[in-house]
């Protein structure tokens, strides 16, 4: 398995543009998480899904952010319109739910720069 | 509410010196604590979990409920330990709250 796959790895866009980040979790994993990493705030949980259903989106900063998981093998995080303060590394992670082990498997991240 | 605090953003030590990365948490229930590590050009990965009481790559961490701490320690740091370290608190299934992270640099 190639692990969690994220795309794009790097995105540079201008303020006001729509940004879509994509994630393919590890096959068989039933939990999917989106995190945002910044130097100031560290790793923040934005939203997580269980069996494609959003469970907790309390970390989503505002209405400009939305996330979907149409099937077990794909999720998107969309920012519309983007702002410079959204510049960060966005991580997707997945895990499987037979007991809480705390082990999340992370993707390589998508580095977003909003000019 | 659950919160994880790592007071040091940067920590520098020399090879062979002891190292301690601090982590404090706030949670009203029974916590599950973890350390994650991100080496240069590698993915963020689990280093150790408190319930396992294991030593990984020479690192150990003890949960101190009285002080609400879960500090990561290693008696003799190596250059390959240089990385970003995150402390994480698990309060309900799969929902991990991470601290701000500490960048450890081990000098030769």
Q: What is the pLDDT of residues A4-14, one digit of tens each?
A: 999 999 999 99
pLDDT tens per residue across span A58-71: 999 889 999 999 99
* Cβ atoms within 10 Å of B25's Cβ, excluding its own: 22
Are B95 and A56 inside 8 Å of each other by CB?
yes
Chain A residues lying within 8 Å of B95, measured CB to CB: 45, 48, 56
Write the burial class of residue B82 (CB in 10 Å: 0-12 exposed, 13-18 middle, 19+ buried).
Answer: middle
Q: What is the mean pLDDT of chain A?
A: 92
pLDDT for B92 equals 66
Question: Per 3-state DSSP, what percentage of chain A is helix, strand, and coil (rounded to 5)?
Answer: 5, 55, 45
The Cα–Cα gap between A109 and A88 comes to: 10
Chain A residues lying within 8 Å of B98, measured CB to CB: 35, 42-45
pLDDT for B90 equals 86
**What is the nearest CA distance from B66 to chain A, expressed in angstroms?**
22
């Amino acid at each position: 398995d190639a692990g969690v796959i994220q795309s794009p790895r790097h995105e540079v866009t201008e303020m006001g543009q729509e940004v879509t980040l994509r994630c393919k979790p590890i096959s068989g994993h039933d939990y999917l998480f989106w995190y945002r990493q910044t130097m100031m705030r560290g790793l923040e949980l934005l939203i997580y899904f269980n069996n494609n259903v959003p469970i907790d989106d309390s970390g989503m900063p505002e209405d400009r952010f939305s996330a979907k998981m149409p099937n077990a093998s794909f999720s998107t995080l969309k920012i519309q319109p983007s702002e410079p303060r959204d510049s960060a590394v966005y991580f997707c992670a997945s895990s499987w739910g037979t007991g809480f082990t705390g082990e999340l498997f992370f993707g390589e991240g998508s580095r977003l720069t909003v000019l | 509410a659950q919160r994880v605090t790592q007071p040091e953003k940067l920590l520098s030590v020399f090879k062979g010196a002891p190292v301690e990365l601090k982590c404090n948490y706030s949670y009203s229930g029974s916590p599950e604590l973890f350390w994650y590590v991100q080496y240069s050009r590698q993915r963020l990965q689990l280093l150790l979990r408190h319930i396992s009481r294991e030593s990984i790559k020479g690192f150990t961490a003890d949960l101190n409920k009285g002080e609400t701490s879960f500090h990561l320690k290693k008696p003799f740091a190596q250059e390959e330990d240089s990385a970003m370290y995150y402390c994480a608190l698990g309060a309900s299934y799969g929902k991990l709250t991470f601290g701000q992270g500490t960048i450890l640099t081990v000098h030769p």
